[in-house]
Amino acid sequence: MLKRTVSFLTIIMVLFTLLAACGDNTPTTASGGATTAAVAGSGSTTAATGSATVASVATTGVGATATPAGKGVLTLGNGTTSTFSRNFNPFVSSPLFLTMNTIYEPLMIYNTVKGELMPWLATGYKWSADNKQLTFTLQNNVKWSDGQPFTAKDVAFTFNLFKNKPGLQGPSLVAMTGNNAYVESVTATDDTTVVFNFKQVFTPGLYDIIGQMIVPEHIWKDVADPSKATNDNPVGTGPFTQVTNFQSQAYQVDKNPNYWQPGKPYFQSIRMLAFGSNDAFNLALANGQIDWASTYIPKVEDVYVAKKPANYGYWFPLTGQMVVLALNLTKKPFDDVNVRKAISYALNRQQMATVAESGYTKPADVTGLAEGQPKFKVADPTKLGDWTNYNVAKANQLLDAAGLKKGSNGMRTLPDGTPLKFTLSTVNGFTDWIAASQIIVQNLKAVGIDVSVTQTDAAAWIGLRQKGQFDMTISLMNGSNPYIIYRNAMSNTLLKPVGEATVAGNFERYSGGKADDLLTQFAGTSDEAKQKEIAGQLQQVFADEAPLLPLFPLPQWYEYNTTNFEGFPTKDNPYIAGQRGDNSQDGTSPILPIITTIKPK
């Protein structure tokens, strides 16, 4: 659920990631949903020429020229978006669905299942000997959807646009602008080679760079304000680029006539529908109106699969993010590592996995890493520590040793008599998190700690978390490599006073500083063997310090319907995870590999 010196993470992308934890039919500000109707498209291609470009197109409904469902049309949907606004701008905080990773493409994709980078617009990359120059080699057969050639100049233009035009959103924002910018220049040395010169060594920047959506220079060089252009009829390199129909509750994008992968995509159109409520979305999914979804469904076998077992499937791999309990370490007694470990011993993670997450996950270990880091995770986490085990006796022993004595009512106090009474903040509507919170309340009461749950909307919760204005809260550890994961968890470079927002990480206000030298070493090398060694040391620091209390890996929610299409990833064919991540720019979205693999029946 959320992300940098640092990897790209604006508040909006934080919200998107957080909300994705409960599925793609939960409300997100990065969903492209809006409250104004938009004109329908005619499929013509026009350049975005100003700050609020609106194409002159026919106002036909989706049914006017749309291919019927089941005839080469992949149908997707959103549960809480009531209306769509026509805005295919990849540089805004809330681009419309299908803008990212469908119309526009990144350089590479990080496959969380296999733990490796997949070539896309770039065929590969190479670091210089001093790790201050990163060179990408590009595909040499790519065209934009208007037939113009794609070259390295387009890549350099996209990144340099962030330097020249204020207000743009994307991973390039951190790489190219501000006090923490680490890229000095981006240059196309020939049509298929682009070179990034770094101000200082920062090898994790690779993951920012690969996730940036690339735009055509010949279109965007004439846009006066790229942060405001609506880009009604986009020109991209992606497999689906032609907006053939658009109305406020449904739109359709047809395949790119000039797509660079021969013979792909194998079907004609993607249709996106707005349902306005989770109930309506889930009903449509169960009724076979949706081909591909990413939503949390309790008892998915009974509620979904059983309705059409020959065609309905799901796969919830644990390769995404780690759900954690964050304690505010500026508050006593949470500043005591032994108290943090005591609280952790008191938590029944198996119960959370079984009840709150319907048995779709498993208890966390002391590394805080999910299964998306197979190259870096130590072989036996139990050798690092055991405080993620459920052990009430050990919890009571450590709490007693910390001087937090129980009173006659069985509840504990600080040495000065202050009751151990805290509030656990969570997000309204996140039913699995709320269920986990209730289990935490019961577990901690059993060892003499009084906790009550408070729920807020997601935006308010983000603000409280960023400013450190909480006692306890459920959160996430996320990132595409150990540097990002552990920097966000325990780097002093992100430490802010309570009341001052930090959007990248260290929301719990950990100030130990024991990870920073290792993080610098990790960022200073591109040698994977060295990075793996350093990652092991970082895991030991995390296990020693317990800055966050990992609960369980968050399943990557994914349901599919093979009535009309075949070739979706499955547990038996795990070529990539299936959770959509429509607006993701962290390089982990599986959309492009999937929509270029599946075929109509």
Residue-wise pLDDT tens digits, 78-132: 877 889 999 999 999 878 999 999 999 999 999 999 989 999 999 999 999 999 9
- Architecture in CATH of 322-553: Roll (3.10)
The fold for domain 108-220 equals Dipeptide-binding Protein; domain 1 (3.90.76)
pLDDT reading at 408 higher than 80: yes
**For 282-291, how does the pLDDT look when each residue is reduced to its tens digit (9 = 90+)?**
899 999 999 9
pLDDT reading at 152 higher than 90: yes
pLDDT class of 458 with cuts at 50, 70, 90: confident
What is the arithmetic mean of pLDDT over 12-16? 41
131 CB neighbour count, 10 Å cutoff:
17
Closest alpha carbon to 87 in 79, 97, 75, 76: 97
Position 504 scores a pLDDT of 79
Lowest mean pLDDT: which of 15-24, 154-163, 203-212, 407-416? 15-24
Question: Which DSSP string corresponds to 496-514?
Answer: --TTS--SSS-TT-----S
How far apart are alpha carbons 41 and 219 in whole angstroms? 19
Give every strand in the sheet of 292-293, ordered side by side: 292-293, 559-561, 312-314
**For 340-360, how does the pLDDT look when each residue is reduced to its tens digit (9 = 90+)?**
999 999 999 999 999 999 999
pLDDT reading at 30 higher than 90: no
Position 21 scores a pLDDT of 46
What is the arithmetic mean of pLDDT over 367-376? 92
pLDDT class of 70 with cuts at 50, 70, 90: low
Closest alpha carbon to 601 in 568, 564, 554: 564
What is the arithmetic mean of pLDDT over 16-36? 36
Residue whose token pair is 């109106």? 289
Closest alpha carbon to 518 in 534, 499, 498, 501: 534
Position 93 scores a pLDDT of 80
Kindly give the pairing relationship between strand 322-327 and strand 312-314.
unpaired
How far apart are alpha carbons 365 and 219 in whole angstroms? 49
Report DSSP state, residue 210: H
pLDDT class of 68 with cuts at 50, 70, 90: low
What is the arithmetic mean of pLDDT over 368-385? 94
The H-assigned helical ranges of 288-355 are: 300-303, 337-345, 349-351
Q: Domain spans of the chain? A: 108-220, 322-553
What is the arithmetic mean of pLDDT over 456-465? 90
Global confidence as pTM: 0.84
